[in-house]
Structure 1
C-alpha cells in the first residue's frame, strides 16, 4: 500500500542589508568596526594567516573585543567571535549584547567579501541571543568591499539548537 501523505516544502529565507562600503555605515557602526579592525590586528594566526577581529557592543555601552587564536593542535584554537562573546559573557554576565562587528583579512590575499561566522561561532552567538531573548545585530566585513548586516543570528542559523531540546 502506498503512503498517501504529502510532505510540504517550506522556504526559509531572511533579509540582509548590504552596504557598498564601510563609509555607508552609521557613525556608531563605523566606530565599532574600527575597534574590530584593531582587534583583528592582534590575531594569532601563524598557520592559516587568516586574521579575524570581533567587537561586541553591550547595552551598557561597553565594548569587548576578540581575535582568533590558533594552535598547532587544530582545532584547539578559538575564533574571534567566540573569544569576544565568551569574554563578554564572563565579564558582564547579565548585560545584553546589542551588536557584534566581525572583520577578516588574510596575509595571503585580499579579503574583499565579508566572512560569516563558522558553525561553532553561530551556535555560540545563538546561545547568547536565545539566553537574552533579544536579537544580536551582526556586521560582517572583509578588509575592503561590501559590509553585510544581519538583524539577528537566527537569520544565518535557521532551525538553531537551543536548550528547549534538552528538557
Structure 2
C-alpha cells in the first residue's frame, strides 16, 4: 500500500478590489447576474459570468423549480448557453458570486459537484484551462487556474 497526496493551489484575493480592472468588471457582472437568480425554494442565489476567447461575456443565474432536479445552477446555465450559441469559441474564464438571501455570505463559494463535472467537459473538449474565480456576496475571491484544481479526479470520455 502507498499513499497518494493530492494538492490544490488557489490564488487568494482579499477582496474584489485586488483583481485587475477587467477582472473586477467581469466579477461585477457575476454579482449582477446573482441578483437576477430565481431561487424561491433555497433562497440561495448564484450568478456567473463567462469570458470567451472572442471577449464576449455571457451571464447566467441559478433557476430553481418546485421539482428540484428540474432547476439549473448558474454555472451550467451560462456554460451550456455558450456551448449552444458559441460552439467554436473557447471558454477562458468564469466568475462566480453566490450568497444566501437570508444571510450575506462572505466566504468564497465554489461550483457544486455537478457544475464542476460540466465545466470539466468543456475544459477537456477545448484542451484549454478555464480560470475560475469565485466569491460569496462580498469578501475574498479565490482563483483556480483550472477546473482540475477543484476536481482533481476527472471523469471523462477516457473512462468510457
C-alpha distance in 2, partners of 1:10/1:61?
Answer: 39
In 2, Cα distance between the equivalents of 1:145 and 1:38? 16
Q: C-alpha offsets along residues 139-161 of structure 1, whole Å, 9 cap, x if unaligned?
A: 00111111000000000101110
Please give the TM-score of this superposition, normalised by the length of structure 2: 0.98
Q: What are structure 1's unaligned runs of at least 5 residues? A: 1-6
Match of 1:36?
Answer: 30
Report what 2:147 is aligned to: 153
Structure 2 portions without partners, runs of 5+: none
Match of 2:71 in 1: 77
Is 1:96 the equivalent of 2:90? yes
- Which structure has the bigger radius of gyration? 1
CA distance in 1, matches of 2:109, 2:8: 18
Indicate which of 103, 122, 129 corresponds to 2:123: 129
Off by >4 Å, runs of 4+ in structure 1: none
- 1: distance between equivalents of 2:8 and 2:62? 28
Deviation string 1:8-60 (CA, Å, 9 cap, x unpaired) is: 11101121000001100011110100111111111000011110000000010
Q: What RMSD in Å do the two structures reach over aligned CA positions?
A: 0.7
Q: Could you tell me how far apart the structure 1 residues matched to 2:68 and 2:83 are?
A: 25
1:142 matched to which residue of 2?
136
Cα distance in 1 for partners of 2:156, 2:12 equals 28
2:47 counterpart of 1:48:
no
| Alpha-carbon distance in 2 for matches of 1:41, 1:72 | 20
